[in-house]
Structure formats: C-alpha cells, structure tokens
Amino acid sequence: MRQLAASAVTPELGAISGGERKTSWIGTLGDFRLIPALERNEENVAFAATITGKLVLLLLFGGGLIIQNSWRNAAILLAILAAAAFLPNHRRRVLTIGSLLWLAANPYWFDWAVPQFIAGSSPSTAGWDFRALYGVSLVALLGLATAWISLARRHPALFFCRRPLVTLLLLYSALVMLASFTDLDRVRAAAWIAIVVLGAYLWFLAYAISDQSSRDPDSPVSEIGTFHAFWGSTATPLPKGAAYLRRIESKTSRDLAITQLKALKLLLWADILGFCNLGFGKIAHGTLGIPIFEDAFDRCAAHAPYPGYLCWLVLLAAFAEKIFAISVWGHTAIACCRMAGFRALRNTYRPLSSRTIADFWNRYYFYFKELLVDFFFYPTFFRYFRRWNRLRLAVATFAAAAVGNMLFHFIRDIRYVAELGLRRAVLGFHVYVFYCCVLAAGIVVSQLRSSVRRARPPFLGGLPAQFGVLLFFCLLQVFDDDGRTHAITTHFAFLLHLFGVGG
C-alpha cells in the first residue's frame, strides 16, 4: 500500500518538479565551504543569542554593509536592524517604521524620470513642483492601500478584494489610456504621476490584498511595512508578501540567533561575490579587452560586427556578470531580511548547478519566479483544463513565464509609453515578447521531460545537461532586451553571427 501511494503520485511529480539539488559534480564541488557554517556550532548560537553577541553580530554586519552602501544608508539600515534584533516581540512594527523611515531617506527608489519628462515637454505644467506632488501621491497611495486592505478584511467577497491583481491591472490600464489619449496637459501629467507610483507598488499591493483572504491576515499597518521593505526590493517584492513573512519569522531567541548568523554569512558571501564581479570586469573588459554586450550588439546592428569568437566572449562575460550582479544584490537584501529575524530563502541559489531549464529559472531569481507562480501559474492551473494535466501545466507555465513576465516588464518600463507613445511602445516590445515565449516553451519542455530523465542516472553526472541549460540561457539573453531600440531582425542577426552566418 505504501508503494501504491508513492507510485500514485510519482509520475505527476516527476513531470512538474524542476528542482534537483546537490547531485551534480558542480553541486559536489559546491559543498566546499569558503565561509564556515557558523550556525551549526552550538557555542556560536548561544553567544549570538546574548546581548554582547547581538552587538558583535550587528557590528560585523555593519562592516559588511558599508562595503556596498554609503555610510548614511549603512547607518540607517544598522539602526533599524538593531531595533529588530533587540525588540523581537515588536519585529513587525519595527519593520513598518523601518520601511517608512527608509522610504523617507530614499524616496526616489523607482523610475521617477517619467513625470519630469512630461513636465519638460509641456509648458502648462512647467511650474509644477513634482517633488511635492510625488510626496502627495505616495501618501495617497499608502492611504488607498490602507483603505483597500481594511475593506478586504471586512468584505473579502467583493470582486476587487477577491481579484486584486485583475482590479489593479484594470486601474493601471485605465490610467495609461488616460495619460496616452487626453489632450489636457495637466490631466496627463497627473495621470503619469499616478501611473509611476501605482506601478512601483502594484505587486506589493497585490500581495497585501491577497493576504486578506488567508486565515490569519496581517493588519493594514503590518502590510504597509512590507511595501518595499527597508532591506530593498525592485518592483518585485522581496521576499514575497506579509503572508510569507509570517511563516518565516523567527519564533525563539535560538531561531533568531541562527538566522542572524546565516545573515552574516550571506552578507559576507555577497561582499566576496561583489569583489569577484569587480575583478572579473577588470580582467574581462580591461586586461582581455572584451567589449561590453551593448557595444558588440550596436556594432552588429551597424553592420560592422566584431569577429564571431569575440561575440561569444562578449556573451559569456555578460552572462557571468548578470549572475554576479543578481547574486550580490539579492544576497545583500536577503541578508538584511534575515538579520531582521526572517528566515528567508536566498533569491539566487547555485544557478550554475541547474540541470533543467525550469530549475535554472527557479534558482536564478527566486522571488520573481514566485511572484509569477502566485499570480499567474496557480490561478491558471487550478481553473483551466483540469482534465488534462500536461496541458494545464503547459498553459499555466505559459501564463506565468510568458504573459506574467511580459506584463511585469511592460509595467516596470512604462517610461517608454511616455517617451514613444503607446502604439510604438507596444510594437517595440516584440523582442521581449519573443524572449518570453521562448523562455516559457523551454520551461514547459523541461518540466515535461524531467520525469523521463529522473528515471535513469544522469549521463556523465549531468554535466552535458548543465552545459545545455547554461547555453540555452546564455543564447536567450540575446533576446532579453526590454528596450525599444532594435528590431528582432537585429537580434537574430547577432545570434546568427555567433554561428558564423551572415555579415
């Protein structure tokens, strides 16, 4: 019966799971620890739980922060983290106050160029104080969020509380239409301010309102604390929303000590990777003279490409630098989150050890993938094609990796609509649409094939599979362009040039 239960679930599991850990030779190599596992030593844990231990940890952590931040920002972060460390029973209040303090200290964390661009192009808004308007719109957004969250607590069955993302996207689209088609300059400028502010917080809001339908939702004040929390995020909430934070909060002083020791290790690793990235850049672009990707691409677009071998080196260097950059940024943010007492998973976890495309996508930018899974994959998977498991998996994956991915990036780079107009901005997005479709197709195929692969031992320890995955993502980055400068034909020309085809 035990075997029956196991085999009853295995085929579907194999088809869907993308994660495989520590079985490849790179994984085995990865077991070597440059930074010792401090949290596995009970004496370290006991010391970290004392007042002196907390102070020592904070001091060391502050030293790590200064490497990547200004003194001012490192001091603010350290003050918030100290409050979180010494007031564990008030951690969520500290998070809210800390995040608002961080916002006040660094208010222009998102793309604030659009309203200024609009102001510059319109004489009737020339006298507007956009900084003041920005402040007002930010306060208005937080007010709207508080009201919406409160309403969702009391009336979860209302459409805009039950389907927050659909409502947010409709609202956002209406604002973009208004800004694009109104003849009134002042209305357009005001609409653009709203678009920029709403776009920056759209996914945070979606998480917060969705949380209100859970069994133990947070209060509006606690939810607001997760809106671009002080440890940093992009438009992608790190690490997800309040519901996730509740699950990963350290419950005991021992838990907290272990989490903080892990935080220190992760920050140290981020700093090491940051230095490696710097060194890599100096050697690759300085000593070896490998051009940067944009330069090589522009040369190709101008029909004067670098030699094929050099373009390969350009592509490989750009790929390596991308992985370095996202690792350093994500590790630093998650290290701060852990130091505040939340046992968050890393944003990037050994992407080079991936043996499937789905696994790489999971390991490369975990919280972005989670956002797409939460808001696009699950809703599609559980609503449509429920009789055909493989089809529903494929459709849901496409909804997340293609549709959700496109929407996210179109909203994130909304400045193109202001600069080029809606029509040209949409048409110019075709390269990224292609990228998303190929990515989604790769993930679907990888998920469907993984059950077959798992049945037998990996060929040559999985090395060819790892190479194939890295090659796929390395080549796919030729199309990972959410700008609007080059047509897809130019991207194909670059790709073909890598293989010696064309000029």
Put residue 460 in one of left, alpha, beta given phi > 0 → left and psi -120 to 50 → alpha: left
Task: Give the integer Cα–Cα distance in Å for 375 and 377.
Answer: 6
If binding is defined by CB under 8 A, does position 251 make contact with other proteins? Answer: no
Provide the CB-side half-sphere exposure for 264 (13 A, CA): 24
If binding is defined by CB under 8 A, does position 248 make contact with other proteins? Answer: yes
Report the residue from 266, 273, 284, 393 that binds other proteins according to the rule CB under 8 A. 393
How many other CB atoms are found less than 10 A from the CB of residue 263?
Answer: 26
Q: Which amino acid is at 427?
A: L
**ω before 239 within 30° of 0 (cis)?**
yes
Report the residue from 386, 423, 424, 430 that binds other proteins according to the rule CB under 8 A. 386
Task: Give the integer Cα–Cα distance in Å for 414 and 408.
Answer: 10
Q: Looking at beta carbons only, is 21 or 430 nearer to other proteins?
A: 21
Q: Looking at beta carbons only, is 172 or 368 nearer to other proteins?
A: 368
If binding is defined by CB under 8 A, does position 214 make contact with other proteins? Answer: yes
Task: Give the integer Cα–Cα distance in Å for 257 and 85.
Answer: 9
Closest contact distance (angstroms) between CB of 19 and other proteins is 4
Q: Looking at beta carbons only, is 137 or 447 nearer to other proteins?
A: 447
With b for 16 or more beta-carbon neighbours within 10 A and e for fewer, the 305-338 pattern comes to bbeeeebbbbbebbbbbbbbebbbbbbbbbbbbb
If binding is defined by CB under 8 A, does position 106 make contact with other proteins? Answer: no
Q: Which of the ranges 54-62, 83-91, 309-317, 369-377 carries the binding residues for other proteins, by CB under 8 A?
A: 369-377
DSSP 465: H
Task: Give the integer Cα–Cα distance in Å for 129 and 341.
Answer: 40
In the chain, DSSP finds a helix count (H) and a strand count (E) of 26, 0
Q: Which of the ranges 64-72, 241-249, 253-261, 428-436 carries the binding residues for other proteins, by CB under 8 A?
A: 241-249
If binding is defined by CB under 8 A, does position 29 make contact with other proteins? Answer: no
If binding is defined by CB under 8 A, does position 20 make contact with other proteins? Answer: yes
If binding is defined by CB under 8 A, does position 22 make contact with other proteins? Answer: yes
Q: Which of the ranges 75-83, 242-250, 323-331, 470-478 carries the binding residues for other proteins, by CB under 8 A?
A: 242-250
Binding-site size for other proteins (CB under 8 A) equals: 42
3-state secondary structure of 238: coil
Q: Which of the ranges 7-15, 178-186, 299-307, 429-437 carries the binding residues for other proteins, by CB under 8 A?
A: 7-15
Report the residue from 63, 230, 244, 474 that binds other proteins according to the rule CB under 8 A. 244
- Rg, the chain, Cα only: 24
Report the residue from 382, 459, 467, 499 that binds other proteins according to the rule CB under 8 A. 382
Q: Do 337 and 239 touch, CB atoms closer than 8 A? A: yes
Report the residue from 118, 193, 358, 436 that binds other proteins according to the rule CB under 8 A. 358
If binding is defined by CB under 8 A, does position 381 make contact with other proteins? Answer: yes
Binding residues (CB under 8 A) for other proteins: these are: 1-2, 5-6, 8-10, 12-14, 16-23, 213-214, 243-244, 247-248, 343, 345, 358, 362, 369-370, 373-374, 377-378, 381-383, 386, 389, 393, 447, 454
